[in-house]
Amino acid sequence: MSTPPPAPSAPSRPVTVVTGGSRGIGAATAVHLARQGHDLVVGYRSGRLEAEAVVTAARDLGVRAVAVRADVADPDDVDALFAAAAEQLGPVTGLVANAGLTAHLGDLADTPVEVVRQVIDVNLLGVVLCVRRAAQVMSRRRGGPGGAIVTVSSSAATLGSAHEYVHYAAAKAGVDALTMGLAKELADDGVRVNAVAPGLVRTDIHAGAGDAGRLERVTARVPMGRPGEPDEIAPAIAWLLGPEAGYVSGAVLRVAGGL
């Protein structure tokens, strides 16, 4: 009598890092991914209590989750973020490079250089550093498990955001180019790379730029006549991360109510 084949081991859950997971689109995405069975690292810069609330919500859905403080514009913090993920949850298989800010509203000529630098540091350099680290740990050629990366861009990348924050739009256009190029670099390495480009979404980002009323003020520009909600962005990110998007890489998926 032949020996029966070994029972298949249970598939391990995806381990996904979400930067800027404490609020807004990142928090909604983390909870959505928890519902789909992802173990999670919820990255944040200053909102520890908010990040811990997201972790609690994820754990209540039956997954493992930890909150890790990391400034995405700091390479040492980014390394520590991925090290904490590997130590506490196992090999990382997914990244949502979501952390971002607009910081200030106005014409470029009136925008202080330090604001321009901060916006480019967080929205572009921060994404570059995070996807670089993800490529190092996820690439199959380098001994990683493979996986998927989703960057969070913006409709600003193609609209330009005149009189608001053209430097932010430029940073997001950089994210689109980075996404396309890295997708090609990693296409035969088991890692897919895509972007989601939201339009106008109801989060604290507008108040963070000093204009809590911006959402209402610019809603008229949105063809659907209303802002989006974070819960309407999260499923697009989750789909791009997941197996149903297995042949999708290098795409920028606009989720912007027609904007």
Token readout for 1 is 């009598």
Q: Which 53-82 residues touch ligand NAP, going by CB under 6 A?
A: 71-73
Type of residue numbered 115: V
Candidate residues 198, 237, 252, 254; the one interacting with ligand NAP per rule CB under 6 A: 198
Closest by CA position to 43, among listed 26, 25, 62, 63: 26
Q: What is the DSSP string of 23-90?
A: SHHHHHHHHHHHHTT-EEEEEESS-HHHHHHHHHHHHHTT--EEEEE--TT-HHHHHHHHHHHHHHH-
Instruction: Give how many residues touch ligand NAP by CB under 6 A.
Output: 30
Tell me how far CA of residue 22 lies from CA of 50, 51, 133, 217, in angstroms. 5, 4, 21, 26
Instruction: Give the range of 97-105, 159-167, 177-185, 234-242 binding ligand NAP by CB under 6 A.
Output: 97-105
In whole angstroms, how close is the CB of 86 to ligand NAP at the nearest point? 19
Could you give the residue numbers annotated as active site? Answer: 168
Candidate residues 66, 78, 205, 209; the one interacting with ligand NAP per rule CB under 6 A: 205
Task: For ligand NAP, give the closer residue by CB, 26 or 94.
Answer: 26
Token readout for 29 is 């995405």
Closest by CA position to 107, among listed 56, 161, 182, 68: 161
- Under the binding rule (CB under 6 A), the answer on residue 174 touching ligand NAP is no
Per-residue contact string for residues 102-131; x = within reach of ligand NAP by CB under 6 A: --------------------x---x-----
Candidate residues 60, 204, 216, 244; the one interacting with ligand NAP per rule CB under 6 A: 204
Q: DSSP assignment, residue 226? A: S
Candidate residues 15, 16, 17, 26; the one interacting with ligand NAP per rule CB under 6 A: 26
If DSSP codes are grouped into helix, strand and coil, which group holds residue 128? helix
In whole angstroms, how close is the CB of 20 to ligand NAP at the nearest point? 3
Binding site for ligand NAP (CB under 6 A): 19-20, 22-26, 44-47, 50, 71-73, 98-101, 122, 126, 152, 154, 198, 200-201, 203-205, 208
